[in-house]
Structure 1
Amino acid sequence: MKFVIAPDSFKGTLTAAQAGAIIARTIMKEMPEAEATVVPMADGGEGTVDALVQATGGTIVEHQASGPEGEPRTVYYGEIGEGMAASAVLEAANVFGLPLLPPERRNPLHTTSRGLGELMRALLDKGYRQFVVGLGGSSTNDGGIGMLSALGARFTDRDGNPLEGFGRDLPKLTHADLTGLDSRLKESRMTVACDVTNPLLGPQGASHIFGPQKGASPELVARLDEGMARYAALMEQALSLHLRERPGAGAAGGLGFAFMSIGSVMVPGAEVVEQLTGLKRKIAEADWVITGEGRSDEQTVFGKLPWSVAGWANDAGKPAILISGSLGTNAEALYDRFAACFSTVPGPSTLEACMEEAERNLEQCARNVIRLLARART
């Protein structure tokens, strides 16, 4: 029996590679004659760099850049390919991801996307002109003015004072000058891996949908959305483009809008990773497909990675099994694509205990799944 194991990360506990290795190890223990192929996946969020580097035999490289609060920190990117075809793989989660800040310090007024722009500029200096950028998991709501500032754009307040590029700068913004943007961006191809389709503004936009999970109160959400609207108007006037309503403009606190403004191509994150890992081909050769994530719920069916993996399995006529840390609200909809869905949590527990026991719980759950499949064969 052949298994393809293609999980997302179990955020905060296990990387996609770790989760896949645990499941594969369990398969071989319970079914020694089986074949288990692990394909770590990501959808543009945490783990995107690791998944693509592992899939392509690339290299992880460390670099210094500004973190979520503007502090210096060590980040990393991936080098994949060779020569003129070489690409740099970056992810927002690694530079200014929400988990990098403790809950009591999460406030979108005080976070910035500047570090991503600094990293991109350094890579342009190294000669890169092809980029893959994952947007998921950010702590920011600055519309991307931090990133654009690091790339040469200039944003100022009513008195002409330059703004640093934090969320708190949006309400002060009165002028956007894009003439200083790094000219090498026009020579570059940027593929942006994004798993959301939200517009920039309004009830479904960046501030309203993602602001609260980043620490914004209802009052602050309204203030940020108002500032974001002013920012969008200034940018669209400078560009002679209307971008605010494009799907994905609201991704990563409006960072999607900023990438669109410099000509990036927005692509569903799971598809980017699939193309580079060859997952569909491996699924076609398998008997069973196993995927998973930290929590599966009603949001999973709107294109999160396990839903995409199960869709590819269904297209190939292969059954897909979901093993996730927990099954949340409206999980019933998951059965439209999955042969079976399992939660790794064995009983009532605290979040802290679940995180501490993540590896053991996943191994135990996988063991039960594989033993059922083994018995069904006899």
Structure 2
Amino acid sequence: MINHTYTVAALPAARTPGCPFDPPRELTRAREHGPISRLPFPGGHEGWLVTGHQLARSVLGDPRFSSRQELMRSPAADLGDSPVPQAPPGMFIMMDPPQHSRYRKLLAGKFTVRRMRLLTERVGQVTAERLDAMAAAGPPTDLVSAFAQPIPAIMICELLGVPAADRPFFQGHVATMFDEDAPDEERYASHTEVHGYIATLVSAKRAAPTDDVLSDLTGTDLSEAELIGAAGLLLAAGMDTTSNMLSLGTFALLSDPGQVALLHEDPDRSVEELLRYLSVVHVRPRVALEDVELAGHTVKAGDQVILSLNTANRDPERFEHPGVLDAGRSAGGHLAFGHGVHQCLGQQLARVELRTAYPALFGRFPSLRLAVPAEEIAIRPESGDVIGVKSLPVTWDV
């Protein structure tokens, strides 16, 4: 029987020990009671948690729900009555149309399916270079730093026109920015370094444009601040999410070797299943702009709704045996890249990178395996927007 008053205790919820790829049990239990639950926020606000696939997809595509930063509350911390500032210039994922639409229109043509597929050869070259470096250094190695971080970092830097000599700088500072274990002052310092460098890069592109996305954007009506913000967003998002998908996906494949044969047979299908199964961007927040009925509940204007994408992507009403990694299934319709006007702009680039890198890794090192017990692999905490592994020690036969 569905309990229409089910309440989730709090977010973030802890994952079950020994189940590194599964959503927290508390969230799965909530979905079993229905697609939407009450969610208390620190400070007394009562919000909502959506765990059902169909309902999450509906909210993501509904213009009555806002992504504006200044409307948001934190489900994990009481920020008091201090007003939340509007999103900085260029940070369009925290804006609604028409502001969001202006940025999206300028950028969408740079990340089309056709344009990203043309990059397949270059992704293959970068991947081969990383595999050569791993082979030369020999086992064991940390797959995160040796493979998963460099590939998306190099690709997004090349797309935006970051000089090759500066890419290690970006990779290091972006990793610090997203490291929940790093001291706040270190994360802030890295953010400041990246912001300052991008400002210098924007000025250089204005003075001497080259063949890259950032140079193209300097020819638009975006202000200096908007260019810096948009470039920073693309750089950070292009590195962090795909890096975590590469490392966590490899961990999942090493934990279920039978899936590797299916990966080689049909990389496209395998990647879509890994995206569904892992859902590294596991939550998305929205705020109701007016009263909205959701699954028999009235979500009032101003109520915050947290969409649990990893739980929605494990919804048995949408996917058969959803808790099983099955690279033979058709995982189309998953929400790993979101849905609606905010659907991930770089999803086609991520797909090219994943479809190229996974088969190349297991093709080059067929004996690849964990170098430590699986239970020693540290998973990034649920408090962040992106989950993954902090490191992935691996080894192989030489």
> Shorter chain as normaliser: what TM range?
under 0.3
Q: Whose strand fraction is larger, Structure 1's or Structure 2's? A: 1
When normalised by structure 1's length, the TM-score is 0.26
Higher relative contact order (CA 8 A, sep 6+): 2
